[in-house]
Amino acid sequence: MQSTTEKIKEEAQAAAQTVKDNQNVGMTERIISGIAAVAIGAYAVKKKDSLLGKGLTAVSGFLLTRATTGFCPLNKAIGRNSLLVG
């Protein structure tokens, strides 16, 4: 019989492997996406009451998610995986 700790450890390892298997953005692109997210987000704060500001906030959020997770739904849609390049 497995202990609860062992079960949790196995499930965490399986989840980490799933995330790793789904990554499709290389480290350089992740860094650039993170920097761009911060820059666009800072500008969006200045324009927060306009439609442009709201749109830039969404773009910033997308780039930040892309940078932190290493997954890009646009890459997946076009079959691109920059993690495997180089």
Asked if 85 and 26 touch (Cβ cutoff 8 Å), the reply is: yes
The Cα 30–Cα 83 span in angstroms is 10
pLDDT at position 84 is 76
In whole angstroms, give the CA distance from residue 86 to residue 73. Answer: 21
Q: How much is the pLDDT for 85?
A: 64
Tokens 């739904």 correspond to what residue? Answer: 73
What is the pLDDT at residue 1?
Answer: 64
Residue ranges for the chain with pLDDT beneath 70: 1, 85-86
d(CA 19, CA 69) in angstroms, rounded, equals: 8
pTM of the model: 0.74
What does the pLDDT read at residue 13?
Answer: 86
